[in-house]
Amino acid sequence: METNLQTSRTPTFYDEVIRDTPGGDPNLEMCIQCGTCGGSCPSGADMDHTPRNLFAMINAGMKEDVLRSNSPWYCVSCYYCMVRCPQEIHITDIMYTLKRMAIKEGLYRESSASEAPGFSETFIHYVENYGRSFELGLATWHHLRYHPINAIRMASTMGLELLRKGRMDLTPTRIKNMPQLKKILKKAKAIGGTT
Amino acid sequence: MKYGYYPGCSLERNAIAYQQSTMAIAKPLGIEFIEVEDWNCCGATEYFAIDALAAYALVGRNLALASQQKLNGDRNQLVAPCSACFLNLYKTDHYMAEDNKLNANVNEALAAGGLHYDPGTVKVRHLLDIIVNDIGYEAIAERVTKPLFNLRVAPYYGCMIVRPASIESFDNPEYPTSLDKLTHSLGAEVVDFPLKAHCCGGHMTQISENTALELIRRLLKNAADYDADMIVTLCPMCQLNLDAYQENVNKHFGTNFHIPVLYFTQLMGLAFGLSANNLGLGKEFINAKPALDKISSEPLKKQRRKKRPPKETLPMPTMPEES
Ligand code: SF4
Ligand code: SF4
Ligand code: SF4
Ligand code: SF4
């Protein structure tokens, strides 16, 4: 008798993480808890949990603790862990998955990196409306929202210097075929179930 | 040689020096870059954190445009000078090939805009890759008219260029050497510093400045410990972090670093005898002139200096093969 366990039970947190990580099998079940990832991570010292820790917690079904952890937000996407992992686990991609899940569940607000999604969202706002990123707007809005004092500092020192050297624009650039990009992104969100 | 070209947002403004110097050296090297018409931002490291499929579709549009515009006849190669753009383009193409569902979904989204992309049609490469592998160190050395004798240059790779998602890369992910060899062929003294492929913190400057400043401090200190006159980079974000945040690092830690950070294309231009004005020199925060003034017309006698401990890539444990 053949029963497929994968489909006959409700997906666990562990299944969800694997399902939501694109790019083929992330090999999460292969983790041998060796710790190579955490030892290689530039942000390791500032993370609540190393990647190894997070994977053990995912395995144990500790969804809320995992999604409340600041670790995914401190991941700078450097892929050091991923080239070194002896089990070829797609660690960096799993970190992205955890970020998305934490936003969906709203749990990132309880982590010490609660403003990180705001930065990503501001960035995306420009991309979705102009097709390009806009550094001046990005830094200014991000700082105005989270560090009003810094916004003034940033505008008065580094920002001004970047402007003076012609390294920053005052207005964003827009791509020509913005309607096409909007249609593509709208469709992608509809398929991905995020609209 | 003709290549498709994806500059990325940074090269239009913040990294304008990288853009100018890339265009300036292309000519003497016989490279022609054809920019992808109406390309969009690749989403950097931000879009993947919010919406995976939209992020892949965003990058997919660029790949679709590049393949449609047949930028380079049948050899459809797309060159990106920014490490983050390179990785996003490369990874999207690779993952679409690996993952049928992702491929179908991205193409369904692209179809809404009248586009289509077959993974594998466009070969994505970093600018450094084509310069060292298609042009080659010897051809570069032949173009050198003003060798950078006596200038101690620390080649900084950052992370994303050598670590494309654990798939085959053109250089060693732990101990890359291509930029070292390129620097050497320009006549400069290569500073082999241990942190050359460590991360500068990327977007952490925006999210947790303390974390970022510490990562930047470590890199600057390491280069300084090995007596570097300057750092040379291949990524706009690395350049911005190490250069524009250097004063913040000094304020924060009470240090006194003054290490200019240039793009490798700027150094190539100088060695080829091109005018500094066409290479975007002077756009850097930490003035590079004092370091560049050290360049002498004859190689000086080598001094004894600190050498990094030998470190070949260590073999990593793997699962035993099943027999
Ligand atoms: S390096 Fe890989 S196998 Fe080792 S603990 Fe990290 S994820 Fe698990
Ligand atoms: S990719 Fe993320 S988790 Fe992995 S080493 Fe880099 S920062 Fe750490
Ligand atoms: S990585 Fe940065 S520079 Fe490159 S396209 Fe994306 S946002 Fe623009
Ligand atoms: S070193 Fe920093 S800026 Fe450069 S590729 Fe890595 S994260 Fe990006």
Taking CA atoms, B164 is separated from B92, B194, B278, in Å, by 11, 20, 31
pLDDT value at position B167?
61
Q: Which residues make up the CATH 1.20.1050.140 domain(s) of chain B?
A: 2-128
What is the count of residue pairs from A and B with beta carbons less than 8 Å apart?
220
Per-residue pLDDT tens digits for A109-125: 777 777 777 777 877 88
**Chain A 63-82, CB below 8 Å of chain B: which residues?**
73-74, 76-80, 82
Q: Is the pLDDT of residue A9 over 80?
A: no
- Is residue B304 within 8 angstroms of chain A, CB to CB? no
Higher pLDDT, B240 or A164: B240
- Encoded tokens for B320: 């035993």
pLDDT > 90 in chain A, percent: 42
- Encoded tokens for A179: 């309607």
Q: Are B232 and B275 in contact (CB under 8 A)?
A: no
Amino acid letter, A80: Y
pLDDT category of residue A152 using cuts at 50, 70 and 90 = low
Taking CA atoms, B27 is separated from B1, B143, B182, B227, in Å, by 10, 11, 18, 33
**CA B319 – ligand 1 centroid, Å:** 13
Ramachandran angles phi, psi of B155, nearest 5°: -75, 120
- Is residue A39 within 8 angstroms of chain B, CB to CB? no
Per-residue pLDDT tens digits for A16-67: 999 999 888 888 989 999 999 999 998 888 899 999 999 999 999 999 999 9
For residue A123 and ligand 2, the question of a CB distance below 6 A is answered with: no
Report how far residue A111's alpha carbon sits from residue A102's, in angstroms, rounded to the nearest whole number: 10
Chain B residues in contact with A132 by the CB 8 A cut-off are: 9, 12, 40-41
**CA A39 – ligand 1 centroid, Å:** 10
pLDDT value at position B239?
93
Chain A residues in contact with B99 by the CB 8 A cut-off are: 22-24
For residue A91 and ligand 1, the question of a CB distance below 6 A is answered with: yes
Name the residue among B43, B112, B211 with its Cβ closest to that of A127: B43
Q: ipTM of the predicted structure? A: 0.86
Q: Is the pLDDT of residue A76 over 90?
A: no
Report the atom number in ligand 1 closest to the C-alpha of A84: 1
**CA A78 – ligand 4 centroid, Å:** 7
Spatial CA neighbour of B87 closest among B177, B3, B165: B165
Ramachandran angles phi, psi of B233, nearest 5°: -125, 170
User: All domains of chain A, ordered by start, with CATH?
Assistant: 10-110 (1.10.1060.10), 114-195 (no CATH)
Chain A residues in contact with B318 by the CB 8 A cut-off are: 86
- Is residue A55 within 8 angstroms of chain B, CB to CB? no
Q: How many CB atoms lie within 10 A of CB A56?
A: 15
Q: How many CB atoms lie within 10 A of CB B27?
A: 11
CATH 3.40.630.10 is held by the domain B137-313: no
Q: Which residues make up the CATH 3.40.50.11810 domain(s) of chain B?
A: 137-313
Chain B residues in contact with A76 by the CB 8 A cut-off are: 45, 159, 199, 201-204
Report the atom number in ligand 4 closest to the C-alpha of B161: 5
Contacts 24+ apart (CB under 8 A), B32-35: B32/B1, B32/B2, B32/B3, B33/B3, B33/B4, B33/B5, B33/B79, B34/B2, B34/B3, B34/B4, B34/B5, B34/B69, B34/B71, B34/B72, B35/B4, B35/B5, B35/B6, B35/B7
Ramachandran angles phi, psi of B15, nearest 5°: -110, 40
Among chain A residues, the shortest Cα distance to B166 is held by: A83
Segment (H or E) for A122: helix A116-130
For domain B2-128, give its CATH number from 3.30.530.20, 1.50.10.10, 1.20.1280.50, 1.20.1050.140: 1.20.1050.140
pLDDT category of residue A142 using cuts at 50, 70 and 90 = low
3-state SS assignment for residue B259: coil
**CA B252 – ligand 3 centroid, Å:** 28
Chain A residues in contact with B9 by the CB 8 A cut-off are: 132-133, 135
**CA A2 – ligand 3 centroid, Å:** 49
pLDDT value at position A145?
58
Report how far residue A137's alpha carbon sits from residue A169's, in angstroms, rounded to the nearest whole number: 9
Mean pLDDT by 10 residues, chain B (323 residues): 91 91 96 94 84 93 91 76 92 93 96 96 94 96 96 93 69 90 96 91 79 92 96 93 92 95 98 95 94 89 73 68 63
- Encoded tokens for A46: 């500032």
Nearest residue (CA) to ligand 2, atom 8: A41
